[in-house]
Amino acid sequence: MNILKCLIIGSGPAGLTAAIYASRAGLSPVVYEGMQPGGQLTQTTEIENFPGYPNGTTGTEMMEDLHKQAARFGAEINWGIATKVDFSKRPFSVTIDDANEVLAHTVIIATGASAKYLGIADEQKYAGNGVSACATCDGFFYRKKTVAVVGGGDTACEEALYLASLCKKVYLIVRRNVLRASQVMQQRVFDAENIEVLFEHQTLGLTGDGVVEGANLVKFKGTDKEEQIHIDIDGFFLGIGHQPNSEVFKPYIETDAAGYILTQGKSQQTNIEGIYAAGDVADPTYRQAITSAGTGCKAAIEAERYLRDKGI
């Protein structure tokens, strides 16, 4: 069986940037696109904060550009999901779609993280048209408008505070009667004049003609005080966290309590030499396309140096 020099799992900004660098280094990388070809950016409409696009672009267009660039330098890009791995021996073994075994001397894990959703149908209906899981990515489009953030932890409070610096008004929809966020974050939220915290509220659905224009909520659900209310909003942000797509690697790769892959110091190397992690699967903090691309670059350079040092 042919042994690859470099296998890249995932095709978001991290995976495709790694493919560009690995290709130019002569590693002939093979990329498997994963469960969401192009990554989370394909669910984002407008992108204005990625360098090199002075007039902005869409997530889909940007990922198509990265795909073409990686292919131009010789990267082989395939459909497929890593469903099983064996990192206990070398070369490393990765099974794609429960069928095809791939062997590689180095592996770059760039499987990303998936935003957690409430599970209501309207989240998909208005995806990219008022529903977002990233205030830093999309908040700019809601300047001087009214938005809502769902969640009661640090993530939701951070999103609400960021949006409060841009928006006219921010509703923070909290299922419980308290915030779970740290005391510092709670105080900042309470001190923000344009944030209104809606305790013991849950979202029933969203309304609007093509774009989000409002949200239907239920207050004090399941009690004798239960009532339904409506709020007028222009955007609906999920602040209930992300789930890193690392489950298949956990028997071998160290992660933190939330599942984010741990890397060594300033390196992208995991606890296993020759295996690297890049992008959101190893980043609980920034989760931006540009930072993901940067770690993809680092991972590819480190893989090339590892192979060179090993004489492979």
Is 137 considered catalytic here?
yes
Looking up tokens 């590693």, which residue turns up? 27
Q: How many CB atoms are closer than 10 A to CB 254?
A: 14
Q: Which of 6, 86, 122, 137 is catalytic?
A: 137
Q: State the catalytic residue, choosing from 86, 98, 122, 134.
A: 134
C-alpha span between 210 and 306 (Å, rounded): 51
What's the CA gap between 172 and 292, in Å, rounded?
A: 28
CA distance 274 to 90: 10
Catalytic residue among 6, 97, 98, 138: 138
Token readout for 160 is 């609400």
297 tagged catalytic: no
Residue listed under structure tokens 């990329």:
31
DSSP label at residue 55? T
Q: Mark whether 98 is an active-site residue.
A: no
Which amino acid, 259?
G
What pLDDT sits at residue 36? 75
Question: What is the H or E stretch that residue 171 is in?
Answer: strand 169-174
Q: Is-contact 74 20, C-beta < 8 A?
A: no
In this structure, the number of other CB atoms found within 10 A of the CB of residue 130 comes to 25
Beta bridge mates, 94: 85, 102
Predicted local distance difference test score (pLDDT) of residue 45: 62
3-state secondary structure of 32: strand
Q: Which pLDDT does position 43 carry in this prediction?
A: 64
The predicted structure's pLDDT at residue 132: 92
Tens digit of pLDDT at every position of the chain (312 positions): 799 999 999 999 999 999 999 999 999 999 999 877 777 777 666 788 889 989 989 888 999 999 999 999 999 999 999 999 999 999 999 999 999 999 999 999 999 998 888 999 999 999 889 999 888 888 999 999 999 999 998 889 989 999 999 999 999 999 999 999 889 999 999 999 999 999 999 999 999 999 999 999 999 999 999 999 999 999 999 999 889 999 999 999 999 999 999 999 999 999 999 999 999 999 998 888 999 999 999 999 999 999 999 999
Check if the beta carbon of residue 304 is closer than 8 Å to that of residue 312. Answer: no
- 31 phi and psi angles, rounded to 5 deg: -110, 135
The answer, as to whether pTM is greater than 0.95, is no
Which pLDDT score, from 0 to 100, does residue 44 have? Answer: 63
